[in-house]
Structures are given as structure tokens and as C-alpha cells.
Chains A and B, each alone.
Chain A
Amino acid sequence: MAVLVYSELSTAFLDEIGANAATDAPLSSTEIARYLNDAYADVWELSGGSVKNVDSATAWTSAQTATGVVTGILTDIREVIHVYASTTSGSVGVTSGDNVLDRVELSQVEFFRHSNVTGTYDRPKIYALSRIATTTPASVNLMQLNYWPSVTGYYFPIKYIPQFTPIDSVTVTTPDVDDIGSRDIYLLAAFRAAPAVGNAHLVPTIASRFSQRLSEWMTRKDSAAVSGDQNR
């Protein structure tokens, strides 16, 4: 497989910073994981994220009995791309008869809920999403779905971009990026870690091997930080 896994990333990272030693290793496994995941987070964000497609039961509690408001189950939603209305419980939005809802501001949903606009629909047409305010750790990032009209009996499968999931040596070993992106992970991690292990002189060499995409992103980011110029 072209995408590097955690063990390969770790080895390549240590090689780049000249710290691939079994004895008196300058970085612990925890520190290695932190460097790699910090770099992975940037590369993952740069790649635009990937899309998950889930059915209503995965995303919402009792959607089919709701009357206009549904509470979410998922806590890893970064951005919802599409919400569908379906009469099929296991649908992921592509079943015949499903319709995609238009995303609007919550205030627009509220307007139509309380308006006297005539004409009826037998299925939801618009929706708004909001994050539920909470201090309960397990409930952070839960979403609330408001839809109109408030007809019951519909399921709401969604397509969404998930939040970042760190990689490790045991559970999530493969980063969710493409092949070039995975190589950028260990290079970016090494770029940041080399000074910390006393090998700052390696930084230019490491940077010269960034992918085109990463190089442009770094340049743009640095330029924005220094002069506010993002037009690159």
C-alpha cells in the first residue's frame, strides 16, 4: 500500500532527524506520537478531509418519531455536507424516493415554522444544524437538527466530514490521507522536531523534500503570519 502506516512513519521520522537509536533514544514513544499527529493534523486538514455516509440510526436519536427537531448521536462531526429525508430506515440517502434537504439558517427554519405561508409538503425540505451547548465530555460536539416542515415518519441519513482522528501504533495505524500526504507527515514532523534533538542543520534539507502541495501551504501560512499576505 502506498500510504505509510504508523510504524513506517515513525521509522522514517526518526531517520530524518537522525534519532533512530535503540539506546538513549532522544524521544519517547509518546513524544514521537505527538510530533507525528501534530504533523498529521496539518496534512489532514490540507487534504480537505474525507466523507462518511451514515444512516439515520447512526446519526440521530429516534428521527422517525421526531416533529421538527432531532438530537444527534455522533460526536465526531466536523461538517455535515448533506442531509437526506428518507422513508427507508437503513437508507444512506440514495434510495429511490429520498430527497436531499436544503441547508438554511436556523432563523429561516423558525420563520417557516411560525409563518402563514400556504402550500403543503409531505416531507421535510429545509434544515439547519447547530452544536448543542454542553459541558458533559461525552456530549461535546453533539449536533441538533432542525427541519421543516415538521412531518414525522422520516429518517435523516447524512454525509459528513469527520473530525481528525489521531493515529497510533495499535488501533488507528493508517492516516486518512493519500500517498503523498502520508510522506508529508513524517517530513513535517521531522521539520519541527529536528531542532529539538539538536539537529537544526537538517531543517533545510528536510524542507526541500516537502511535496509541492505542502510547500505552497507552508509558504502561504508563513506569509500570512508575517505580513498578512495570503495571496499566494
Chain B
Amino acid sequence: MSIHLKQIRDRIRVRARNMDPRKPTLATPEIDQAICDVAIELGSFLPAPQVYSASAITIAAGASTSNLPTTVTQWTGNDGGAEYNGDIRLQLVNTGVFLIQVSRDEMDALSNGAVIYPVSRPTHFALWEEKDQTVQLKFWPGAKAAEPLNLFCSLQYDDLRDFIGTGLDDLDDVEIQFSRVAAQALVLMTLSEFLNRPDLYQRGMAMAMREASRRHNVESHGRTERWVP
């Protein structure tokens, strides 16, 4: 479920009794900037959105490194705006096998003493964030032939202001990828800033926590123990 930013805006205007465009206390750009800022804050409390991207990465033949794409975002057009949230899973397209994620220390241990980096079909990967915020990948072993990878990942919520859309799409048209409950939390938390009412912020946070619980209920296994290969 999603909701247009303009609907959130108008809900805020109604609740704040700011419906007179002749003498508005808050003009549209002011409200929208606040919505965008609070949406980032609220998104940081909510479970991260997940995305699947087929053949998103290709390890070049003979290479042992690559990087996560910067184009995997919540909406089209935000190229360069990708921010990953930590849950990364890579699957070899050719075999369907998922690579095992290891830490950088473990990767260093695997490649310790390898003067000539072995190439075959990668089985493990490690990642880290570079100074320019691109996420680097290192594979063990390297790829003998070019290996495309499917990417399963979690993302940070995009900044609503980065929405470009198509044609005449703009902030009015951007769809905030929140549930009903999270959308209402967004309204309350934004209102709290304008009305100087901390109680509204607290109510919004309580709704955000309930929304996080709902997401976990959807995605949980329902078991307290599970086998890890």
C-alpha cells in the first residue's frame, strides 16, 4: 500500500486547521519539506524495504571484486541514490547457488597467502562501504568466467525529494511507500513539529513501533529455532 505525498500534505493541513490558502500559516513547500524530512526519520525506525533485482551484478571474468549497483532504488530515476540497509544476498544466475557472506576478516583469512588469486566459481563474498559510499564486494574465489548475480537486498527509504518519475511527475505524485498505519504516523509526527506538540510525536512513534511489529509478523518464520547450514 502507498499514499501520495499530496494526500499526506492535505491531511496535515486539515488537522492543523491550515486550509485557507488566502492566509496560510504554512505554505505547500514548507509542509512538503517537513514531510520529506520526517519520512526519512520515520523510515529509520521501520523495517527496511526489500528489493529483488535480477542479474544486477556481473563479476567480470578473472575478477574478484565488484560493487553493488547505485541504481537499485525505491523508484526509477534516482540513479546514484541507492543506500543499502545491510541485508545483502547474492545468487549465481548460472547455478542458482547463493553465495555465503563472510566478514572481511574471514575473507582475509581465506585469501591469506594467495599470491595468485584463485579463480573458479565464487562461493563466498564480503562487502564494505567505501569512502564515497559505494559498497564494494570481494569474492572467494574469483570468477573464472563472467558471472552474473541476482541481488536480494534491503534498502534505506529513499528521500522523497529525489523522486523524478516520468513526464510531469513531481512531489505531488510521489508515492510514499508506507502502510496506512505508517502514513498516519507520518502525519502525526509532522504535525508535532508545526504545532509544537510532543504528544503527537509520541503517538506517531507508537504507531511506527506497531507497524514494525506488523512487518516482522509478516516476515517471521514463526519458529524459535531453525537449522542453519
Q: Are B33 and A103 in contact (CB under 8 A)?
A: no
Pick from A82, A112, A122, A123: contact of B29, CB below 8 A.
A112
Q: Nearest-CB distance from A147 to chain B (Å)?
A: 12
**CB-nearest residue of chain B relative to A117?**
B33
* Any A CB within 8 A of the CB of B161: yes
Interface set, chain A 112-136, CB cutoff 8 A to B: 112, 117-123, 125-126
* Any A CB within 8 A of the CB of B27: yes
Interface set, chain B 153-173, CB cutoff 8 A to A: 159-164, 168-172
Interface membership of chain B positions 114-149, coded 1 if the CB is closer than 8 angstroms to chain A and 0 otherwise: 000000000000000000000000000000000000
* Any B CB within 8 A of the CB of A46: no
A119-B33, A119-B161, A126-B29 are contacts. A102–B24 as well, Cβ < 8 Å? yes
Q: Are A122 and B28 in contact (CB under 8 A)?
A: no
**CB-nearest residue of chain B relative to A119?**
B161
Q: How large is the interface on B (under 10, 10 to 19, 20 to 34, 35 or more residues)?
A: 20 to 34
Interface membership of chain A positions 94-109, coded 1 if the CB is closer than 8 angstroms to chain B and 0 otherwise: 0000001111100010
* Any B CB within 8 A of the CB of A81: yes
Please, which residues of chain A bring their CB within 8 A of the CB of B164? 120
CA gap between A148 and B32 in the complex, in Å: 14
Please, which residues of chain A bring their CB within 8 A of the CB of B159? 118
CA gap between A65 and B180 in the complex, in Å: 41
**CB-nearest residue of chain B relative to A79?**
B22
Q: Are B28 and A126 in contact (CB under 8 A)?
A: yes
Question: Among the interface residues A102, A118, A121, A123, which one has the most CB atoms of the partner chain B within 10 A?
Answer: A102
A119-B171, A120-B170 are contacts. A103–B160 as well, Cβ < 8 Å? no
Q: Are A104 and B170 in contact (CB under 8 A)?
A: no
**CB-nearest residue of chain A relative to B13?**
A102
Q: Nearest-CB distance from B21 to chain A (Å)?
A: 5
Q: Are B172 and A82 in contact (CB under 8 A)?
A: no
Please, which residues of chain B bring their CB within 8 A of the CB of A81? 22
**CB-nearest residue of chain B relative to A80?**
B22
Q: Are B21 and A82 in contact (CB under 8 A)?
A: yes
Q: Are A122 and B170 in contact (CB under 8 A)?
A: yes
* Any A CB within 8 A of the CB of B223: no
Pick from A82, A104, A118: contact of B161, CB below 8 A.
A118
Please, which residues of chain B bring their CB within 8 A of the CB of A122? 168-170, 172
Please, which residues of chain B bring their CB within 8 A of the CB of A118? 159, 161-162
Please, which residues of chain B bring their CB within 8 A of the CB of A123? 170, 172
A81-B22, A100-B21, A103-B21 are contacts. A119–B160 as well, Cβ < 8 Å? yes
Q: Are A82 and B24 in contact (CB under 8 A)?
A: no
Pick from A101, A112, A119: contact of B21, CB below 8 A.
A101
Q: Nearest-CB distance from A227 to chain B (Å)?
A: 31
* Any A CB within 8 A of the CB of B221: no
* Any A CB within 8 A of the CB of B17: no
Interface set, chain B 12-70, CB cutoff 8 A to A: 21-24, 27-29, 32-33, 36
Q: Are B27 and A121 in contact (CB under 8 A)?
A: no
**CB-nearest residue of chain B relative to A103?**
B22
CA gap between A103 and B24 in the complex, in Å: 7
CA gap between A189 and B170 in the complex, in Å: 57
Pick from A82, A104, A117, A119: contact of B27, CB below 8 A.
A104
Interface CB pairs A-B, < 8 A, 13: A82-B22, A100-B21, A104-B24, A108-B27, A117-B33, A118-B159, A118-B161, A119-B32, A119-B36, A121-B171, A123-B172, A125-B28, A126-B28
In the complex, besides A117-B33, A118-B159, A118-B161, 13 extra interface pairs with C-beta distance below 8 angstroms are A101-B21, A102-B24, A108-B27, A119-B33, A119-B36, A119-B163, A119-B170, A119-B171, A120-B164, A120-B170, A122-B168, A122-B170, A123-B172
